[in-house]
Every structure is written in C-alpha cells, then in structure tokens.
Structure 1
Amino acid sequence: MAEDPWALRYYMEALHFVVHVEYATVAILFYDYFLTVGREIQFLWDRTPWNLGRTLFIITRYMPFVGTFLTLQADLLRFASLTSCTRWTQAAVYLNVADIVVAEIILTLRVIAIWARDRKVATSLAVIFTGLVLGAVVAVARVRVEKNPFGEALYATYGVCPPVFASSHALSVAHIALVAYEIVLLVLTLIKAIGHWREPGSSSFINVFFADGE
C-alpha cells in the first residue's frame, strides 16, 4: 500500500528544517573555531608537547567538522544508491558517537584529576564509562537496515535517503547513557567543589579545576 503523501510531505518539511539547523550548526562551529584558533596556535601548537591531553583535544576539536559534513551529506543526498545512503548515515552516526566518547574521556580525566587521582574514583568511573559506552555502541551497531515502506516511498518520490535509525531507539539509548554519565561526573564535581569551598584557606576551586585538572 502506498504511503500517505501528506506524511511524506510532512517528513520533507521536517527534513528541510533539520538541514537548516545543521547549516546553522556549521556556522556556529566555524565561528567558534575562528574565535579561538589564535589562542590554540599560541598555547597548544607552539608550547605544548605531544601527550594524551593534547591528542584528545585535537581529536575532539576537529572531529566535529568531519561529523557535521557526513551528517549534512547524508541529509542532502538525492537519488544516490541505497547502499551509499546507508554508508553515509552509519558513518555520520558512528563518528558523532566517537566524538562524544572522546569528549567524555577528557571530562573524566579532569574529574579524576580534581579528586587527586583517587584510585576508587578512577576505577569506578572507568567501569561506569566502559559499561555505558559499550551499551550505547552495541545499541547503535545492532540497528539493522531492513525494508522500510515509508523510507522506500520517500526514496522513490524525493530521492531522499531512507531514515535508517528512525524506527530504532538506539540513538535514544545512547543519549540516555550520555546523560546518566554526565550526571555522575556532575555529582562528583559538586561533591569536591563543596568540600573545597568549606575548607578554610583553600585556593579557588576554579583554579584547581583548570590548573590541577590539566
């Protein structure tokens, strides 16, 4: 049975809005980059030796450009092969997940640093982080590209790549895992911040966070 033409039109209008949001995201991304690239060259490229922190920063600094390009490409493709559509969509999703994982590693290392590298905190965070990442990656990887009448109708009518992840809760699971882990990091940071604030004669917590948390 043919899909409802109004449903197809509604999807295309929503996709049109999403693409404009993605264009705005690209503009903000480049605006932020050009605002800070001078300090990046001054303090990172000229002075900082290559280490784990610098490597992670470079990855999380430049990977969003690639991920955004892949996402736009997947949304703007018209009448490409279904195989190409699937590959572009999956590449965009996996790269964006990887970018989030790297950013969370940086936040995790910083929280461990403000806890003076406490072994229990580090071990607990490592276990929680690994479990949540594996759960999110498995949820995304298990999404199967199956025949989707709505997606096929979209492709036949407008040449739009079928929404591979639209019928799956995988991305929702990944975002829930992200929020859960961010809450853990926030709680640990607040505990340390309150303890630092109550300690007489202590230096600013912000200074500790940005200096000792390097």
Structure 2
Amino acid sequence: MNDYFPDSVGFQTVAYTAVASIAVLLFDFIITFDSEVRWTWGREWGITRIIFIVSRYLPFVGLAMTVYYSVGSTHGGIPNHGTSTDVYDGVRWLGIAASELLLVLRTYVVWGCDKRFLILTLTFTTVVSVVVLVISDVSASESGDSTGVFEGGRNSSIVYGLLMLVELVLMALTLYKRCKSFRLEGSPLVITLYRDGVVYILCITLVSMANCISIILLPPSYTGLLAGPQLVTHSVLASRILFNLRAMSDLQNTVADELTSLGVVSQPIAFQTPPCTDHTELCDFTNC
C-alpha cells in the first residue's frame, strides 16, 4: 500500500509558475516575431539556424509538460512515470543545450573562430551535458518512481550548479579575450558580442543559483519551481543575442556601403570584426 500523500500546494505552485513562464515566453515571442522574420526567415538552413529554432520553440513544449506533470501529480500521479520524466528531461535539457550552444558559438566568434577553442569548449559542454542528464535521470528515479509524482531529489541542485560552471567558464573566456583585445573596442559588432555575452551569463547564472537554493531549501514538490524561468531565460536571451548581432552587422554593412557610394572611402570599411564572422557558416550569426 502506498502511504505517500503528494504536496498539492507545491505542485500547484510549480504549475502556476510554469503557466506564468509560458505567458512571458509568449509575450517575448510576439514582440520579437518581426525580428525573427527579418533576421531568420528566407535564409538558408544551417547549423546555427537549426540551433536557434530549437532554443526558440522547444521551451514551449517543456513548459507545457511542466504544467501537465505538475497538475497530474495532484490527481493520482503521472502515468508511465519513468518514461514520462525521461521525455521531459530530454526536451527540457535539449532546449537549454541549444541556447548554450548559441553562447558557445558567440564565444567562438569572439576568439577569432579558433577551431581548437571550439573543440575544447564543445567537449567541455558535452561532458557537462551528459553528467546533467545522468544526474537528472537518477534524481527523478530515486524520488518519483515509488510515488509517481513530478519531483526530484536534492541532487537536482548539482545540475544547476553545473550549468553555473559552464556559464562562468564562458564568461571568464569572454572577459579574458576582451582584456586582450582593447584595439577592437571601437567596433560596434565586437562591443555587441562582449556586452550580450556578459549580460546573458550574469542573468542565467542568477537563475541557476536561485534554482540551486530553492531545491536545497524547499520541499521536494517544489523541485520544478524555477524550471520554467530557467527555460525562459535561456530562450529569450539566446534569441536576443542572435537578433542583436544580425542588426549590428546589417547596420555596419549599410554604413560601409553608403560611405563607399559617396566616395568617402575607396573600399568597404573593415570595422575590425573577427575575420571568420562573414566566411564560416558555423559561427556566422549574420547569415545562418
């Protein structure tokens, strides 16, 4: 006989948070839809565009699943709990991983598209992602299999700690490169690369930290309390990085063309952007 009684208040609170997150994500989608049409529609499909689509739209699926599982936990539990939580973790972390990849590619551009840097960072993030999935699966199994409800163990805080580690490493790499590249400080595109990267990392680090604290201090039924805000933060900021880069690149190209046509300069201005930005599809945020 199962003597477990789910914390209805906790699961309902998680559901409310997820619904609010959906509203925020939908609002951001509406106000940035024109930017998406302008900067992504009608362009050739490539690695960066695929990653963007995943990070942009998959969070809607993850948030809807959060609402469904939270509500289901207050009405007899989740059917096929093991399979359901595996699918949920896969969807949720795939969306976050896609956003992380956009940040990795942005850092790759900052580092002059050094392939050795790309290999090292991708290897590091891949290892962390695998560890995250393993810990998530073990934590969900240990906490939920016997009860059939949507909750995880205290080990879930390690997952968000690992996310913080990735973000802090990328921020350190960005700041280091910024300090070594003062000569590029006049380039609007490079300024956008550094600014967006640092702001993104600070915001997502704060959300990850809040997740760690809430999982440690609150009851197990609140494990997914900030899962929604985590997905929203990744998706919203990753989209803005892409849109801002494309806008700045378009502005620079327009100014260069106008100066050239007016005879102010005899050839297009270089603007001191990373040399691979316009020639490598993998790191080309402006033409993917």
Do both share a fold (TM > 0.5)? yes
- Does the aligned pair in 2 maintain the 1:86–1:164 contact within 8 Å? no
Shift of 1:113: 1.2
Q: Which has the higher helix share?
A: 1
Alignment of 1:101-140 (within 5 A): 101-140=97-136
2:171 is aligned to 186
Structure 2 counterpart of 1:54, from 39, 49, 63: 49
Which amino acid in the other structure matches residue 16 of structure 1?
Q
CA change 1:110–1:147 in 2 (3 A) is closer
* Number of aligned positions between the proteins: 197
Cα distance in 1 for residues equivalent to 2:143 and 2:128? 30
CA change 1:186–1:81 in 2 (3 A) is closer
Structure 2 counterpart of 1:30, from 12, 21, 26: 26
- Normalised to the residue count of structure 2, the TM-score between the two structures is 0.60
Which structure exhibits the higher relative contact order, with contacts defined as CA atoms closer than 8 Å and separated by 6 or more residues?
2
Structure 1 counterpart of 2:183, from 179, 187, 199: 199
Shift of 1:84: 3.1
CA change 1:95–1:4 in 2 (3 A) is closer
Which amino acid in the other structure matches residue 180 of structure 2?
G
Shift of 1:132: 1.0
2:149 is aligned to 162
Cα distance in 1 for residues equivalent to 2:137 and 2:76? 23
Alignment of 1:55-70 (within 5 A): 55-70=50-65
1:155 is aligned to none
SS for the counterpart of 2:149 is coil
- Does the aligned pair in 2 maintain the 1:136–1:174 contact within 8 Å? yes
- Does the aligned pair in 2 maintain the 1:73–1:88 contact within 8 Å? no
- Does the aligned pair in 2 maintain the 1:68–1:92 contact within 8 Å? no
2:16 is aligned to 20
SS for the counterpart of 2:160 is helix
Gaps of 5+ in 2: 195-244, 250-276, 278-282
Cα distance in 2 for residues equivalent to 1:191 and 1:91? 38
Structure 2 counterpart of 1:92, from 77, 88, 92: 88
Cα RMSD after superposing both structures: 2.9
Cα distance in 2 for residues equivalent to 1:178 and 1:185? 11
- Does the aligned pair in 2 maintain the 1:63–1:99 contact within 8 Å? yes
Percent identical across equivalent pairs? 21
